[in-house]
Amino acid sequence: MYQYNDSDTICAISTAPGCGGIAVIRVSGPDAISIINKIWRGKPLSSVGTHTAHLGTITDPENPTEPLDSGVATVFRAPGTFTGEDVVEISVHGSVWIQRELINLLIRTGCRLAQPGEFTRRAFANGKLDLAQAEAVADVIAATSRSAHRLASSQMRGDFSKRIGTLREKLIEIASLLELELDFSEEDVEFASRIHLAELAKNLHTEISSLAATFSTGSALKNGIPVAIVGEPNAGKSTLLNALLNESRAIVSDIPGTTRDTVEDTIEIDGVMYRFIDTAGLRETSDHVENLGIGRSFEAIERARIVIWLVTPDISQEKLTELHTEIKKHLAEGATLLTVLNKTDLLASPTDLPHPLQNIFTESQEPVTTEKSTQRPILISASTGHNIDRLTQALHTLSGTNDSAGADLMVTNARHYEALTLAAESLARVLDGLRANLSGDFIAQDLRETIHHLSAITGTITTTDLLTSIFQNFCIGK
């Protein structure tokens, strides 16, 4: 059970688990400095200034002749700290034994072990961060690519919160005009025309809907863009995965049906993380286990943002049409199908292609995206590496990340997306009410709902259950 008491002084290891050069133990709370003083041998920390570091020795008062370790204590005095409380961070040698003993010593001296995310929760409670910024702290820590780090850093700085705050203020302005109208309803006073209010509400609805629409790209940038590699057995899917990763990640064999389950790995391309999924070959088979793998191949297609359909020069027109129909049937809405011709190293030239393929495979053409597929495939050789760079460039273009390169205001959090979606829905009801000339009471209620949903994003309105759900997923020392 998650328990929270801001009168306690808490402690935790803030560095990664395990043994390293140094480890940092963080202590925060009203008694942080006095508790450390009890085990500190060096300059008394009660007399030092804020944001200063001091060398000393850590000693158990019950065993003063055997110091635990030497280290550096950095003192941060409230309110100018991350949590808004007195904070001391102790840097010691990274021995797992030293870390464990120091935590035990702090607990015996008056600290309590911090709950997951409790340092950040205290920062929120003390007004150092709003809720959206607090959630971004975890995203910064978890960022695995330049684009994910940029988005999380922007949110932690408060850029996203400012945008939400501006939208909320505009909604409150509309609501106040309606409330005034209700207060003076008996005197037949209109503080703003319904046409003007409808125009304001329409503009806000567009803004909120547009912001919510960035979630697809924002989530992909945060978590890695899923790319499924599909095709017939022996089309070279595993070879392509190894070529993209520049390592032997998947087993390569001439025997059809070698890959019987999905194989996943990630790589950063131009600052964006991609999650490549090698799949079982698509074919009819009586092998029960292989059929399970083929089923997972279609599941991978359904989850992917981009599907690389790998074909070979010997594919028949009938099989080409059959697979194209089947793959598109499983393609998710908004996903892109990129057709790639592999094993071109076996051809003297593209003109050697079977006649049914000559019209759609030409080396000079760049991929052109339609709603769900690319009509001009890329010619590659996964075994020699020919045109792999061109394929990665096409992936970068098709992922939509080029258009978002300078856009830091994107929704990356599912909770924020849900709140924006609900806000857009309630604001749509406001628009319908204004157009139908409904009573201000009904319209005001929908406006209040809209404001409530936006307020939940930044934590202007919160519940204990919501905070518990968010912070319990943080690491202990953050």
Annotated binding site for K(+): 234, 253, 255, 258
DSSP string, 344-379: GGG-SSGGGS-HHHHTT--TTPPP-B-SSBBSSPEE
Both structure tokens of 172: 């409150």
For the purposes of burial, counting CB atoms within 10 Å of the CB of 284, is it exposed (0-12), middle (13-18) or buried (19 or more)? Answer: exposed
What are 90's strand-pairing partners?
25, 73
- Residues contributing to the annotated binding site: 26, 89, 128, 234-239, 253-259, 278-281, 478
**Listed residue (381, 257, 208, 93) closest to 390, CA to CA:** 381
Distance, C-alpha 352 to centroid of its chain:
46
- Token couple for 27: 């202590």
Question: Two tokens at 410?
Answer: 């994107």
| Cα–Cα distance measured from residue 293 to residue 27, given in angstroms and rounded to the nearest whole number | 50
Q: Report d(CA 156, CA 28) in Å as an integer.
A: 21
Q: Which two tokens stand for residue 169?
A: 């203020």
Q: CA-to-CA distance for 249 and 247, rounded, in angstroms?
A: 6
> Which residue positions form the known binding site for GTP?
234-239, 253-259, 278-281
**Distance in angstroms between the alpha carbons of the first and the last residue of the chain:** 18
Helical spans, DSSP H, in 115-232? 118-125, 131-142, 146-157, 159-183, 194-213, 215-223
11 close to 103: Cβ distance less than 8 angstroms:
yes
Label residues 250-273 b or e (16+ Cβ within 10 Å = b). bebeeeebbbbebbbbbbebbebb
Binding residues for (6S)-5-formyl-5,6,7,8-tetrahydrofolate: 26, 89, 128, 478
Q: Which residues are annotated as a binding site for Mg(2+)?
A: 238, 259
Cα–Cα distance, 61 to 39 (Å, whole number): 6
What amino acid is encoded at 59 in this protein? T
Tokens 């140094």 found at: 22
In eight-state DSSP terms, residue 247 is: S
Distance CA 236, CA 299 (A): 20
